[in-house]
Structure 1
């Protein structure tokens, strides 16, 4: 259903699951286990796994906090996109990587729910992608000291509203890890 022509494939997007990003993340172990499971399934099904890695002044490139968590080793040949903004498409080569793979549908996981996940969901959707958010495979840290809701509510709200996104010729949905289907069903 994507509006991108000749882009029938799906990719798993793993956003910012870096030491410094998820160190204090809500439900960290369960979310990581779900992402590991999805990466394993994607690889077994021949679905591209695309890694996104953030850097900024608080997360300097090549530092230990900038590294991906050890539970998620990237394989040689799997695309790695470096970014400096919330939206994984902004000033990166993500669009070119996905176009080269014929990808028109993204399955999104990672961190932070209320920042890079949301920005990337919207960035992908407005660019014509079908976008599946894996509701139990994204997380955020506790920012209540700054007036934010508790992390569980941030995650719940993100899952809720993403399931109600709509646009002509595109589909947005929120599903849990067990419900993820990398192969799209044939149209009825």
Structure 2
């Protein structure tokens, strides 16, 4: 149970699955397909879907690269959070959106594993949320030219350490898209 005991609900948080973010991402098509299936499941189970969309100097708001990929279409009734930092909570209304829906548990998918996914799952955890990372529904581009491991290793490492994350009164988990529970803990 989340430290946020007055928030019994779960939300699916879809982070930055935008043309300019996942265009060159590792395993892009299967990851996006799994995210689309999660969105469909969340909608059918009446679990809120919260969309996060990044913009900064390199990813201009309104540009073609800033748009969500065509395989994913946010519903007009679903929350859309605009951000300009890695952590989806920083400088945004995400906490207000989740509080209004009484969400205390997040199921997280999207991009990029080593930047916005990692920042957001840690940001949520330190704010008291239970956080399930969907292990096969996040991805990253190849940053090995700058000394980073290949993207498949970045994804595997993120899954490995998140599956062992602990803190009092909170849970961290990694589940595959086909097995993740969207309702309940």
**How high is the TM-score relative to the length of structure 1?**
0.97
How far did residue 5 of structure 1 move? 3.0
| Count of residue correspondences | 185
Per-residue Cα deviation, 1:104-144 (whole angstroms, up to 9, x for no partner):
00000000000000000000000000000000000000000
Q: Does 2:171 correspond to 1:171?
A: yes
SS at match of 1:169: coil
Q: How does 1:29-40 map to 2 (within 5 A)?
A: 29-40=29-40
TM norm structure 2: 0.99
Q: Say whether 1:99 aligns with 2:110.
A: no
- What is the CA-CA distance between 1:178 and the residue it aligns to? 1.1
User: In the alignment, what sits opposite 2:81?
Assistant: 81
Equivalent in the alignment of 2:25? 25
Post-superposition offset of 1:73: 0.4
**Aligned-partner Cα distance in 1 for 2:183–2:94:** 21
Shift of 1:75: 0.5
Q: Partners in 1 of 2:5 and 2:85 — Cα distance?
A: 27
What is aligned with 1:148? 148
Helix, strand or coil at the partner of 2:178: helix
Gaps of 5+ in 1: none
How far did residue 182 of structure 1 move?
1.1
1:183 deviation in Å?
A: 1.6
The alignment yields a C-alpha RMSD, in angstroms, of 0.6
